Amino acid sequence: MSGNHLMRHVKSSTDDLLAEIEIFAPKAEAAWAALQRQYTSRITEAEIDHLFACFVLGLTSPAYAEREPALHFDVCRALAAVKLPPERVHAALYTVPEPTQPWLASAYALIESQGAKMGRALQETTSNFEDLTAGADAATERPGNHEGNAK
C-alpha cells in the first residue's frame, strides 16, 4: 500500500468517525439537556453523567452491537465528550455510581433501552447510515489501530 493511499485511509477513518458522531450528536445533546433539566437538583453529577453514558450506549448499540467493540466504545466516548470533560467521560463510562435514590438502578437500564429505541429509529430514517458506519469498521481492522480516534 502506498504511503499516499495509507494517508487517505487514515484521514478517511477519522472522517468516518466524525460523520458517525454527527448522526448521533443531536439525539445525545437533546438527552443531555433533558437529563440536566429533570435531574440536576435531584441526583449527583456522577449519576447524571452515568445516565447520559447509558443513553449513549443504547443509542449507538443498534449500529455497533454486532461490530468491533473498540469502535463502539470509541463512538460512545466521543459522543459523551460532546457534553462532558475527559475525566467525567471516563468515570461515566467505567463507573456505576452508588445510587442516592432507589429508582436509579432501574433508570440506568430504562434510559439505555430508550436510547436503543431511538437508535433503531435513527437507523431506519438515515438512508446513508450503513455507508457511513461501514467505513469505520475498515479502520479498526488495520494492524496497529488500537488507539481511540476520538479524543
Q: How many domains does the chain have?
A: 1
Rg of the Cα trace of the chain? Answer: 16
Domain presence at residue 147: no
Domain presence at residue 2: no
Domain presence at residue 48: yes
Q: Which of 12-26, 50-64, 114-128 has the highest mean pLDDT?
A: 50-64
First-to-final CA distance of the chain: 27
pLDDT score for 113: 97
40-54 pLDDT, tens per residue?
A: 999 999 999 999 999
Domain presence at residue 151: no
Please compute the mean of the pLDDT values over residues 70-96 and round it to a whole number.
95
Alpha-helical (H) ranges within 65-148 are 69-80, 86-94, 104-125, 129-140
- 43 versus 130: the higher-pLDDT residue is 43
Domain presence at residue 122: yes
Domain presence at residue 127: yes
Q: Which residue range(s) make up the domain with 116?
A: 7-140
Domain presence at residue 103: yes
- 30 contacts 56 by C-beta, under 8 angstroms: no
pLDDT score for 130: 56
Q: What is the pTM of this model?
A: 0.75
Please compute the mean of the pLDDT values over residues 58-79 and round it to a whole number.
92
